[in-house]
Amino acid sequence: MRIATVNVNGIRASVRRGFIDWLAEREPDLIALQEVRAPAELVPIEASTGYHFAYHPGNRAGRNGVALLCRTPPIAVREGFGSRKFDPEGRYLEADYDLSGWKLSVGSLYLPKGGRADDTPEELARYRHKLAFMKSFRPYLAKARLAARSRGREFLVMGDFNIAHTRLDLRNWRGNAKSVGFLPEEREWLGSIQSPRTLVDVVRRLHPDADGPYSWWSWMGNAFNNDTGWRIDYHFASPELAAAAQTGGTDRAESYPARISDHAPVVVDYANRN
């Protein structure tokens, strides 16, 4: 059972850059997308051919939008996480699937990037927006995981969390000690949502001591060529599902021109459940 997540940074642009070729080559059974950035009627049909497509576009034209694509139809789909403030933004979508012997509840998340905490009032407002989202979303994750367990389902939340958790998760950690995405309160929050008994960082479990594997590189300069990246895209799985992960990492493009997004897909192969 192959499951992937990718921030496409605009599905129409990603299709032009080769998203369909990646999809055909890797053949994931389930995919979470973030930053789809298109009304439902303008999502290219070829981006979901062969899949059941669930989408929460939100109400911000040209921004955000999260989706789930699966080989099997969803049993239930839930938009948002019960927040009047954040649900209209199109940042979280959850669905139940029966796939490869597993009963799953799966979320696709695009957590706000935020702005510099010590910069202009506009940037500070963006940062406070991110912190407020995190505060609101954390108790929901616990609730969703327990609700999935009560229904006999494993829980998996994937997506762009816009936070690098430890020094292993970004190349230039010294230079980014005061950068949004690696601030102490952000890292503490990301640590607080995971543990061996709740949610497991699947790729880190598979690569416990590795730098990266990074999933985002700036379009600017030589960040990609020099592999000066960040690991900010994750699979967080309930323990039994995490233990079934066999291989996983990022599908880093062979070259800068071959990139389908500024993010690379994070792909994990889980053992089928008999």
Concerning whether 160 is annotated as a catalytic residue, the answer is yes
With CA atoms as reference, report the closest residue to 255 among 13, 16, 17, 6: 17
Q: How far apart are CA 4 and CA 26, in angstroms?
A: 9
Sheet holding 92-99, edge to edge: 76-79, 92-99, 102-110, 154-160, 233-237, 200-201
For residue 131, what are the CA distances in angstroms to 135, 162, 192?
Answer: 6, 12, 14
CA 115 to chain centre: 19
Beta 66-70 vs 52-56: how paired, if at all? Answer: antiparallel
Beta 266-270 vs 245-250: how paired, if at all? Answer: antiparallel
Sheet holding 52-56, edge to edge: 52-56, 66-70, 30-34, 2-7, 266-270, 245-250
Q: How far apart are CA 52 and CA 269, in angstroms?
A: 20
Give yes or no for a contact between 251 and 218, defined as CB atoms under 8 angstroms apart: no
Q: Which DSSP state fits 16? A: H
For residue 192, what are the CA distances in angstroms to 185, 187, 199, 201, 243?
Answer: 10, 9, 10, 12, 20
> Exactly one of 87, 96, 119, 160 is catalytic; which is it?
160
At position 148, the amino acid (one-letter code) is A
Q: Which active-site residues does the annotation give?
A: 160
